[in-house]
Amino acid sequence: TPPADTSASSSGCSVSAKDDPTKPIPWAIGLGLAAAALAHRRRRQ
């Protein structure tokens, strides 16, 4: 599921940047990192 991972990352970055470039969303970053970690784990196993 590589496309989903990149899509989620791009979407999160784009949304957060468009929403408030001066106000970063820590929970969004954490969510993205968690999703990436999960995808990486699944791919490895």
pLDDT at 29: 82
pLDDT at 37: 93
Number of domains in the chain: 1
* Chunked mean pLDDT (size 10), the chain, 45 residues: 45 50 69 90 77
List phi, psi (to 5°) of 13. -60, -50
pTM: 0.39
> 9's torsion region: left (phi>0), alpha (psi -120 to 50) or beta?
alpha
* Parent domain of 38: 2-44
